[in-house]
Structure 1
């Protein structure tokens, strides 16, 4: 392996660590809402997150993946197969006809990683389907397209599965997602599944897309939470989740960045490397009593139309938790620009 290859592999390892951190944060955020606000609020939160992502990502994603020419049921199912595959999600696709195509998410479920699945009520999982899968026909301008869910893993079944079906009549709102638990998906044949064109999806693009897939959920979730629960409550939940996740994941992320536990100096270096792995421009300098990191950009929240300063609690919480994971008594402070936007100045002491 050449020096260039080694450097590229190291970069991909850093990107995957960022993906794992934000993946854990998003799953943790849902669990925080379940435990602090209850099932109904968590279901509404998940519905709004997935509906917003569906409205922002589905149609552009069809074009990007080259699926826009396909029949609606097939296009919708192939979109879920390919887009989730890019993000590292276990997913299967089975074509039955131009009017009926299956998708299946076998265990382990990406979004409810590990033991998290034990804390997710069925209503919260159904909200994800209501937010995204049930609205694909609306987005495509074909109100005959609906989604039939046959299994839910959080209910103890062996995965989440169902099929897109194009009926012979327009569907009312409550008909766009229905359940048929007596049915089961056909076997998955990987050879018959769609594949990304290698020329337009080389390895470096796939690795960056893998990282961005997890980060996008947090980009969507933070402003949704602020709008749904208000800045004070949302800020508390965003920060608490970040601190809990940061404490749990410091060692994993630090290992990927080639760093280890220590005091203020080691943590300042860690934080600077983490920001670089997120593609954020930052400068590290020693200051009286510690270190300062001048973060010039926060690409995750670029162009978020309804950004609120409370969204910065995502980073504040994560950095507080990561500091605690690095070593006791490391303090992290934030001075933000107007509206809570960059430049963000972090003090580590």
Structure 2
């Protein structure tokens, strides 16, 4: 199995869980609560990665508007997200995410209310000036794909005065981003970002969204309700994506699938046949929870629903039973 193909399969798998969680929140808890979840996800992501990412990309010394827009262009490019960039001046720079939108793939976009998508901008884009210590920096959104516009677009602009919190994000649909010229776009230093590093970064990009939404769902709704919502999304997504993911990983057996998935995530795993015909599956760790201090058991329980949903799609008569935190028994159906 090609490593890059396996990493891409993992990225798609966890991307689907993130998106599914947002959709379950919209349908079960309503747009307002789903928007709060998305806001929290993107604000946490920003606080954890934005400033360090500027330095890693070598753009931390640029003017605030340019640095902010280039960060979104380059980081999303690394993550495999379609993105465009136009720099009008040192104080004004555009960013655009053309369709198809990565974050809301396929028909998923039809279930995302405008306020839920805007929460992403409130959580991250509107707060870049605060993170940079430049309170005059704001973001102007000129279109949202979920509203039927031809892409999510807008520009960072640095004002001559500090902006109040409610001024840091505004909407101006009468404006339009100039045409994108790829030859004028910023690029990654090829020596520092070889193809293998970019491929791993794409996997990590999607896994980080799943990791963050797990934490924020539990923090927002509590372990019981938040864990239940995460688990609902995990089971549904796994049933829908199991066959395609197994094919991408080049496997057909269920235990083989779980081992291949774990290895593609960067974790050691094995499956051992037992005398009674069952299979004991173990993992060395769960990379998805790496960096999460003292993860709540509800998070692991929700993640385990990915296994339950996968097995339901593989063989609805088979069973999977937990044997420990990272150990399960798979019992064939009769």
Q: TM exceeds 0.5?
A: yes
> Which residue is 1:340 aligned to?
none
Q: Is contact 1:92–1:188 with CA below 8 Å preserved after alignment?
A: yes
Q: Is contact 1:223–1:306 with CA below 8 Å preserved after alignment?
A: no
Structure 1 residues 85-143: Cα deviation after superposition (integer angstroms, max 9, x where no partner) = 11111110000000000000111111110101110000000100000000000000110
Name which of 258, 280, 300 aligns with 1:312.
300
CA distance in 2, matches of 1:23, 1:303: 19
TM superposition shift of 1:330: 2.0
> Do residues 164 (structure 1) and 130 (structure 2) align?
no
> Which residue is 2:225 aligned to?
233
CA distance in 1, matches of 2:92, 2:213: 31
- The two structures have a TM-score, normalised by structure 1, of 0.92
> Which residue is 2:281 aligned to?
293
Q: Is contact 2:10–2:264 with CA below 8 Å preserved after alignment?
A: yes
> Which residue is 2:26 aligned to?
34
Name which of 258, 281, 291 aligns with 2:268.
281
TM superposition shift of 1:336: 3.7
> Which residue is 1:11 aligned to?
3
Name which of 308, 311, 329 aligns with 1:347.
329
TM superposition shift of 1:289: 4.2
TM superposition shift of 1:57: 0.6
Structure 2: stretches of 5+ with no match in the other structure: none
| Aligned length in residues | 330
Runs of at least 4 residues off by over 4 Å = none
Structure 1 residues 319-345: Cα deviation after superposition (integer angstroms, max 9, x where no partner) = 1111112122121222444xxxxxx11
- The two structures have a TM-score, normalised by structure 2, of 0.97
Name which of 90, 98, 111 aligns with 2:103.
111
> Which residue is 2:64 aligned to?
72
> Do residues 101 (structure 1) and 88 (structure 2) align?
no
TM superposition shift of 1:311: 0.8
CA distance in 1, matches of 2:287, 2:164: 39
**Aligned to 1:110, what secondary structure does the other structure show?**
coil
Judge which range, 249-258 or 174-183, deviates more: 249-258
Q: Is contact 1:276–1:282 with CA below 8 Å preserved after alignment?
A: yes
Q: CA RMSD in A?
A: 1.1
Q: Is contact 1:239–1:313 with CA below 8 Å preserved after alignment?
A: yes
Judge which range, 298-307 or 154-163, deviates more: 298-307
> Which residue is 1:150 aligned to?
142
**Aligned to 1:204, what secondary structure does the other structure show?**
helix
